[in-house]
Structure 1
Amino acid sequence: MSIFGAIDTAGSSLTLHRTWLDAISDNIANVNTVRPTNQSAFQARYVVAQSRGDGTGVDVAGIALGSAQGRLVHDPMNPLADAQGYVRLPDIDLSDQMSQLIMSQRGYQANLATVERAQAAYQQAIGLGR
């Protein structure tokens, strides 16, 4: 693999991890989004990754959505509560989202370090030719 191939492969992974970080931050921001029971709950976003057929990286194949059912919570003081006192919250596990956040951050950092090292090696190769 050439230096440019390493940059391209790591760059594709950077894009994937950035999209994953965006999805996680959206999920965390909406973990307490309350909706009336006659509406759908906030649907968590999950990034679907796909490897490139030629083995040169990964791409975002799409975004999968979580359950629109969510979970019913008894909160009769909430202005959105139905006649029985229930509201709909998303079915998002905050601890799972935080674990995914750590994994995506570390993946992003590792791929960024790869790009930086490949760029440094390329700069050194240019310097040898002078």
Structure 2
Amino acid sequence: MTFDAIGIAGTGLTAHRKWLDAVSDNLANANNVSSTDGAAFQARYIVAQEGAEGTGVQVAGVQYGDAEGRVVYQPDHALADAEGYVRYPDIDLSEQMGHLILAQRGYEANAAVVDRAKSTYEAALQIGRS
């Protein structure tokens, strides 16, 4: 069980990397405009769950935001409909920035666990050689 630390932290690194990828996609597409007859960009949200029997975490799937988005009056936009409306994604930038910070801190914490476990394993090997 002691030597599982790197594997378990590795699953956390993977889950947090996927979360970071999803948040970065959401932030990059927050201002994408589409016509009202099309769907807005749908934000991605990673669904994580506990792995089997203490094996860490795994990504169970992805949930998507609302394709309806926000309809905004912009009559001068090239994609505006006859009434002057366009569709934006329904993405809250402050919420996404909060998710970005959480995902980044989680990734850093799991990377620190890998580093500490590696140091511990190396110290154990040195003791075994003595």
Q: TM-score range by the shorter chain?
A: over 0.9
CA-CA distance at 1:63 after TM superposition: 1.0
What's the secondary structure of 2:52's corresponding residue?
A: coil
**Alignment partner, residue 44 of structure 2:** 45
CA-CA distance at 1:40 after TM superposition: 0.3
User: Residue 18 in 1 paired to residue 17 in 2?
Assistant: yes
The separation in 2 between residues aligned to 1:63 and 1:46, in whole angstroms, is: 6
Identity of aligned residues (%): 59
Q: Trace 1:27-46 onto structure 2 (pairs within 5 A).
A: 27-46=26-45
The separation in 2 between residues aligned to 1:55 and 1:93, in whole angstroms, is: 34
The TM-score, its normalising length taken from structure 1, stands at 0.97
Q: Trace 1:50-61 onto structure 2 (pairs within 5 A).
A: 50-61=49-60
**Alignment partner, residue 77 of structure 2:** 78
Question: What residue identity is the alignment partner of 1:94?
Answer: L
**Alignment partner, residue 66 of structure 2:** 67
The separation in 2 between residues aligned to 1:64 and 1:89, in whole angstroms, is: 19
**Alignment partner, residue 106 of structure 2:** 107
Question: What residue identity is the alignment partner of 1:40?
Answer: A
The separation in 1 between residues aligned to 2:120 and 2:11, in whole angstroms, is: 19
The separation in 2 between residues aligned to 1:119 and 1:90, in whole angstroms, is: 43
Task: Output one character per residue of 1:48-85: Cα deviation in whole Å (capped at 9) or x when no partner.
Answer: 00101202200001111110000100001100000010
The separation in 1 between residues aligned to 2:51 and 2:75, in whole angstroms, is: 51
